[in-house]
Amino acid sequence: MRKLFAGCLLALIVSLGLVLAEEVEAGHSAYVLHDGEPLLADKSPDATALAKLKARHEYNVTEISGKWAKIKTDSTEGWVYRGNLSREEPPEVNNSVFHTEASDTKLTAAARGLDDDAKQYASRKDEMASAHQIVWMEQQNDAISKSDVKAYLKEHHLGEYGDGQ
């Protein structure tokens, strides 16, 4: 089950990366998706890291070469896999289990009772059970190390380890 989950999660991440990679162009700015993303000396995931980039920080893209983008920071220039960049600023991550803020709920919606369909759904789908499922999924995700993901990407020639540049 863990391998299936890991494979599905990885496929989703790679797919998202490929979609976002198409948007990044030379002469434009781009945002780093992951905090600590390495700025590499060469177009290889195994190249020397020159710096660690900040998530949600805007950087200038000076060159595109296949799946790689050359990024200029205040002090240096290096390469980042395009799947780890976005032309749009990524949203802040909300780590809470339930993503609706109380302030987003209108008083009239909060005060009125549930209709019959909503009551039936709620009885079938216990909110706490859903929360436990999310916690379980996060635990499964945490059990997969970065080195496991890197080995999977290498073995299956995906992401930065894919065929081509």
Kindly tell me if the per-residue pLDDT of 108 is higher than 60. no
Tell me how many degrees the CA angle 47-35-131 measures, rounded to the nearest 5: 130
- Percentages helix, strand, coil for the chain (3-state, rounded to 5) are 40, 20, 40
Residue 64 or residue 134, greater confidence: 64
Name every residue whose Cβ is closer than 8 Å to that of residue 78 and which is 6 or more positions away in sequence: 39, 40, 41, 50, 51, 70, 71
Range with the lowest mean pLDDT among 38-42, 50-54, 155-159? 155-159
Identity of the residue numbered 142: D
Mean pLDDT value across residues 34-43:
92
Query: Is 20 exposed, middle or buried, given 0-12, 13-18 or 19+ CB atoms closer than 10 A?
Result: buried
CATH code given to domain 2-159: 2.30.30.40
- Helices 146-155, 2-21: axis angle to 10 degrees equals 70
CA-to-CA distance for 60 and 74, rounded, in angstroms? 10
- Reported as a pLDDT band with limits 50, 70 and 90, residue 69 is very high
pLDDT averaged over every residue in the chain: 76
